[in-house]
Amino acid sequence: MTKKASSTSLEKLGLHSNLDCILHLPIRYEDETKLSTIAEAVGAFGGMTFQVQGSVVRQEVLFRPRRQLLVVIRDEEGGELFLRWLNFYPSQQKQMALGQHLRVRGEIRDGFYGPEMVHPTVKAVPPSAPLPSTLTPVYSTVAGVGQHIIRQAIHKAFQAPDLQALVQEILPEDVLKEVFLNTSLPTLLSALKTLHQPSKSDDLDSIQNRTHPAWRRVQIEELLAQQISLLQVREKRLARQAVAMQSQPVQSGILDQFLKKLPFQLTNAQAKSWQEILEDLSRPYPMNRLLQGDVGSGKTVVAALAALHCIDHGYQAAIMAPTEILAEQHYRKLSNWLSPLGVEIAWLTGSLKAKEKKEAQEMISSGRAQLAIGTHALIQEGVDFPKLGFAVIDEQHRFGVKQRLQLQQKIDGVEMDCHQLMMSATPIPRTLAMTFYADLEVSIIDELPPGRSPIVTKLVKNERRDELIQGLLAELQKGRQVYWVCPLIEESEVLQLKTAVETHAYLQNALPNVSVGLIHGKLKGVEKNSIMQDFAEGKIQILVATTVIEVGVDVPNASLMIIEHAERFGYAQLHQLRGRVGRGSAESICILLYGSELSLAAKERLQTLKETQDGFIIAERDLALRGPGELLGAKQSGEAMLRFIDLQKEAWLIEKTQQLAKQLLTSYPPIAEKHLQRWLGNRAEYLKA
């Protein structure tokens, strides 16, 4: 294989060149260097993987209880082992014909006929065939690309005449030693060879668990490329222009009036965050700040202060939310606060009628709208902000990078970025903030407003549903309201809807004198808003809902949240849903209703939710479970993810690598760029967006 991979199948994996192949590192290893007798393997079995060999003494296709292939092998010591396949091809039957000598590897378990391997790895070899001297690498792949194709391509890449040039040492050795305190690191070429072909003399345990110096070198290299990219993003942002507003609020302005009429005092955390934002708005380059705080911590008030500060300086502000329900909540709350002060607010979502949409667009483009609130409709064609100075993006991880970048415009003929404040009720763990948000300032609201009662979380088995109804009635008799949330089942909206409809019917039948409402994603925006309005006004006592109410719903009188099949939800969703109650002064309860069969992960998740309301602890557990790609929404946004590092285990590497990235950009910019292209290539543009 020369520059281009010879097989189009490899291109499915993104392997277009020799360098791509060499950097496609194993996800795990199989140890085929050891061979056991069948008697040894059977005697020690119990979830362990063994490699044995023997000749086929029996082969037949059975049809009870289902079609399956059964093969029996016998080794030279007379030990016999059953091999079983539930899915098989005629070619496999030929490979394992009577008398054929096989080397098989798999987990031995107690089967119907005796000790067996199900779907083992099989090789037809002579009895004297030598064992491999290295661990066998296993690579991530896609359908139609076998391990042998990948291994062959990588082997060819290592034979390429330009190999030395591809992986030459470009990082200054003295800088590496200085930053990593003289840690003994192999060269990149040596590290890559070790990881693709570890020998028996290598520390195989450290290779398997990715702590070997060879892994360290690769982890540092990849993390360094990402950090260089993010630091370049920051430099570019600081070079762009934005409106600089004075850091002191305008005397007798709308902000001043708002603060005087505010019926509560800002918490210390809110006041600190507000001051940080105020300072950012006074700078001539665009703010890029994340305001994170638990559900109910009062982020919206802080965002309103910043919007009014911008309006007082003669510029427009915008608030964009990912769902109509969340946008509607912002619109209602801010209209109540700001309309009496004379602030002109435009409301724009995709579900508006053509006439209403046109009116909102004209309000914005004429500059009459001082504040625009809506969904992604705010950044679609036909919306033109003449003087947009500040934008709030709520639940920012649900928007792609490019969507956020569309909030740019010309002010007085000059290309300007608006100041951006991202808000999230899903706290970002520190390790993620350091590795993926290096260009993001972070403000944290880590205290709840006074008067908020902590939410009591209880775990209840599904079998106690009838008892639950009695407790629910007691809550309703106090004049309170209830959420009953149904899960997303097997990613199917149809099944989710069916569950919600059935639960709604069950509650109507069990509680004939209670007003029970139903809201789900299939309803039109107008219907959803009408139902939510009825619930907010107390006309609906129990609201059966799918996860459309996950964020943004604010009904202080709702004090009981029941989440059905809670084991099917993730950490973040459960935490967000729980945050829909506890928004008033009454004691609130969240009941996690779970089924009888719980996995260990589900048990741990529910127990964590019961024990803590700290969003940061929950976020760390979520990171450990799902990894950064899912947590950040990066699989949708195209952000280049780290492939070779566990951010929690190797958190200590982050600060060291950041230091190295700064030194390279300052003292060796050509080397920094060359390193970036080696590791990220075109993917670097995603991080720079």
Q: Which domains does the chain have, with CATH numbers?
A: 29-128 (2.40.50.140), 254-445 (3.40.50.300), 455-612 (3.40.50.300)
Token representation of residue 406:
């569309």
Dist CA 166 CA 1 (whole Å): 14
Dist CA 282 CA 246 (whole Å): 5
pLDDT digits (tens, 9 = 90+) for 277-302: 999 999 999 998 989 887 778 899 99
Question: Could you give the C-alpha distances from 430 to 120, 161, 437, 445, in angstroms and in order?
Answer: 42, 43, 10, 15
Question: Could you give the C-alpha distances from 420 to 311, 313, 380, 390, 636, in angstroms and in order?
Answer: 15, 16, 18, 6, 21
Please, what are the averages of pLDDT over each run of 10 residues along the chain (689 residues)?
A: 55 87 90 90 80 95 86 94 90 91 92 87 92 87 84 93 89 85 84 90 84 92 90 88 88 90 90 96 93 84 96 94 83 92 93 90 94 89 87 70 55 78 78 69 84 84 87 90 76 55 89 91 79 90 80 77 88 83 83 85 89 80 65 44 77 86 93 90 53
Query: Which H, E and C letters describe 82-94, residue by residue?
Result: EEEECCCCHHHHH
pLDDT at 430: 66
**Is the CB of residue 523 less than 8 Å from the CB of residue 493?**
no
pLDDT at 489: 43
The length of the chain is 689
Angle at 584 between CA 579 and CA 590, to 5 degrees: 40
Place of tokens 């390429």: 160
Residues 6+ apart with CB under 8 A from 357: 348, 377, 382
Smallest CA-to-CA distance from 188 within 642, 679, 659, 684 is with: 679
pLDDT at 134: 81
pTM above 0.85?
no
**Is the CB of residue 540 less than 8 Å from the CB of residue 531?**
yes
pLDDT at 114: 83
Question: Could you give the C-alpha distances from 687 to 168, 279, 364, 402, 493, in angstroms and in order?
Answer: 25, 26, 31, 11, 33
Dist CA 316 CA 310 (whole Å): 7
Is the torsion defined by CA of 602, 607, 610, 614 positive or negative?
A: negative
Using CA atoms in the order 395, 397, 398, 401, what is the torsion angle rounded to 10 degrees? 120
**Is the CB of residue 410 less than 8 Å from the CB of residue 387?**
no
Q: What are the φ/ψ torsions at residue 57 (nearest 5 degrees)? A: -110, -10
Question: Could you give the C-alpha distances from 220 to 216, 584, 647, in angstroms and in order?
Answer: 6, 48, 12
pLDDT at 639: 44
